Amino acid sequence: MESSQTTTEDQRETDKFNRLAVQWWDPQGLMWPLHRLNDMRAPFVIEKIQQHFKTVSLKGLRILDIGCGAGLLAERMAKQGATVTGIDVAAKNIAALLKRLRMLVTSMLCLTWKLLSTSAICRYLCHEPAI
């Protein structure tokens, strides 16, 4: 029995983010708006997670960041003590993230990263073998 896979991945979007990946961590580069947004977004997201789990920190929480890009938000949550798994379909984003992780002096962050297709993400979320 053959299984057919449906995807919601837009290859043009994936290609675009793969092209931008080398500039992802440059706050003065093409991704500068995302860095500025992250300065507001990260505290907001962290606060909402803390409110939801009725906690004062992210320590001990496991967070899944789907579409993590090169990990701007995921890194901030990990610095707050969460164990973060970032998933993205753009391989070069994951490569940019891994380069960033190697450069970080504070390598105590609890971050894991996966490159998964959108159908594999669905299987991952349903706890089925994804890869």
Query: Does residue 46 lie within any of the structural domains?
Result: yes
The per-residue DSSP string of the chain comes to: ----------HHHHHHHHHHGGGTT-TTSTTHHHHHHHHHHHHHHHHHHHHHHT-SS-TT-EEEEET-TT-HHHHHHHHTT-EEEEEES-HHHHHHHHHHHHH-S-TT--EEEEE--HHHHHHHHTTS---
Asked whether residue 24 is domain-assigned, the answer is yes
pLDDT value at residue 123: 56
Q: For residue 49, tell me if it sits in a domain.
A: yes
In a domain, 97, yes or no: yes
Q: What pLDDT sits at residue 59?
A: 93
Q: Can you tell me the distance from the alpha carbon of 23 to that of 49, in angstroms, rounded to the nearest whole number?
A: 29
CA distance 92 to 26: 15
Domain count, the chain: 1
Q: Whole-model pTM above 0.85?
A: no
Q: Is residue 44 a part of any domain in this protein?
A: yes
Does 121 reside within a domain? Answer: yes
Q: Could you tell me if residue 65 is inside a domain?
A: yes
Q: Stretch 93-116: mean pLDDT, rounded?
A: 67
- pLDDT, one tens digit per residue, over 14-44 is 999 999 999 989 999 999 999 999 999 999 9
Predicted confidence (pLDDT) per residue in 48-80, tens digit: 999 999 999 999 999 999 988 889 999 899 889
CATH of the domain at 115: 3.40.50.150
Domain hosting 37: range is: 11-125
| Inside any domain, residue 104 | yes
pLDDT tier at 130, thresholds 50, 70, 90: very low
